[in-house]
Amino acid sequence: MSGQELGLAISVFLACAVEAVEALTIVLAVGVTRSWRSAFTGVGAAVLVLAALTAVLGPALTSLPINVLRVIVGGLLLIFGLQWLRKAVLRASGFKALHDELESYDEEVTAARTAGELDAGLDAYSFTISFKGVLLEGLEVVFIVLTFGANQHNVGLAAVAAGVAVLVVVIAGFAVHAPLSRVPENALKFGVGVMLTSFGMFWGAEGAGAGWPGGDAALLAIIPLTLAFALGLVAALRRRARLAAAPEAVRGEAVRA
């Protein structure tokens, strides 16, 4: 397995694991509170829609010229990666609340309990919430699989990595029958943001005709540098928060220093 293939597999696995944790929380909440059968029916319907989208969009992407594909994929990865990285930096620096999967689970349970009477047969609420949750999180999984896989002409590897991630999360979630609140989701999102941003820069520049010194090996420098830059932003924002909370005299001394 080449360096790019390994990076592809790791990036897809981590990103899809994060999305799977969030979808699992929603399904567990409505299943435990209202109807497992209706929740699983919603999951099945969402999976069918996602499979159809993958079947339609996959061949369309892989048929594009490689440089056009890399520019498109690189741009999309930068958009998504920078969004993930921005939120991760704000959370790590204390400017945004950390995502709490247990809190999200409790909110979903409360909403399910106040949604009215349980419908006989197929419970519309359980079906709709499970369908929407899996579809929305699944769309990001499909995007990650197709962009990474199509660019490397290895959608199969990306799909396998995504499937393994989802399977691991589902088995773990149903084994403990509770949301995976101990999974370091915010740290995973930070790492995924770094990986998506790094690959986006790499492939986007290649598609535009730029050449990276060392070829694929350049990723070994791009990823650590992107991580270092993000961690530098976290440190700067934390210092800014400390100065804002400090008394005026302390702030003056810090500025003079």
Q: What is the pLDDT along the chain (257 residues), one digit of tens a residue?
A: 666 677 778 888 888 888 888 888 888 888 888 888 999 999 999 999 988 888 887 777 777 787 888 888 888 888 888 988 998 898 888 888 766 666 777 787 888 888 777 767 788 889 999 999 899 888 888 888 888 777 777 777 888 888 898 888 888 777 765 555 555 667 778 888 898 899 889 888 988 888 888 887 888 899 899 999 999 999 999 888 887 776 654 555 555 55
What is the identity of the amino acid at 39? A
For residue 6, what are its two tokens?
A: 């390994």
Long-range contacts of 9-12 (CB under 8 A, 24+ apart): 9/157, 9/158, 9/160, 9/161, 10/161, 10/195, 11/144, 11/148, 11/192, 11/195, 11/196, 11/199, 12/144, 12/145, 12/148, 12/149, 12/158, 12/161, 12/162, 12/165
- Between CA 144 and CA 228, with CA 98 as vertex, the angle to 5 degrees is 65
Cα separation of 22 and 19, whole Å? 5
Pair 191, 96: CB distance under 8 Å: no
